[in-house]
Structure 1
């Protein structure tokens, strides 16, 4: 019975690391807001970016566990490009007018 618990913790440990990395990345705009008025995020921006970072990282982990090992780099690149595209759209509306 103890091995089931250890297996569960080991499998979920990666999601704890993703959550910690998301929190650390969100500290960057929070710190920037303290020093300059050019960065002006509200609570919604932090929530959306946190969801975007955590969701992308978690989805990558789940998909890469099912995919063959030699496809993980391509999957990671696809998820990174998708994250950057959505981020650019939400920030400035590069291709559409979602961000502006």
Structure 2
């Protein structure tokens, strides 16, 4: 069984692992072309999501509320990520 400290470390290590994927793509392929600002934006988005999930995990006591809020945070994260990646909504936020 994982302790609370180990769970917190795992939550904050996950964004680093996810950011390693495009970094390896940048180093090994010409098809992945992320700039430093791309890594910065992705890092801020991933770590803020991890922070919010950890905050909800520690502060919300009722399990059903905790799950619901975490799912909402992850849906918002996914929508922002998709908008930045492909501009699904066509907003100026995505550069459309």
Aligned counterpart for 1:29 among listed residues 22, 31, 38: 22
Give distance in 2, aligned partners of 1:42 and 1:14: 31
Across the two proteins, how many residue pairs are aligned to each other?
A: 91
Matched, 1:75 2:58: no
Aligned-residue offset at 1:29: 0.4
Decide whether the 8 Å contact of 1:15 with 1:58 is kept in 2.
no
Contiguous gaps of at least 5 residues in structure 2: none
Structure whose alpha-carbon radius of gyration is higher? 1
Give the CA deviation at 1:86. Answer: 0.8
Superposed CA RMSD in Å reads 2.0
- 2-structure distance, mates of 1:74, 1:15: 19
Match in the other structure for 2:88: 94
Runs (5+) with no aligned partner, structure 1: 1-9
Q: Distance in 2 between matches of 1:61 and 1:47?
A: 21
**TM-score normalised by structure 1 residue count:** 0.75
Offset of 1:73 from its aligned partner? 1.9
TM-score, normalization: structure 2? 0.77
Q: CA deviation at 1:13?
A: 5.4
Preserved contact between residue 60 and residue 79 of structure 1 (Cα < 8 Å): yes
Which of the residues 43, 49, 64 maps onto 2:42? 49
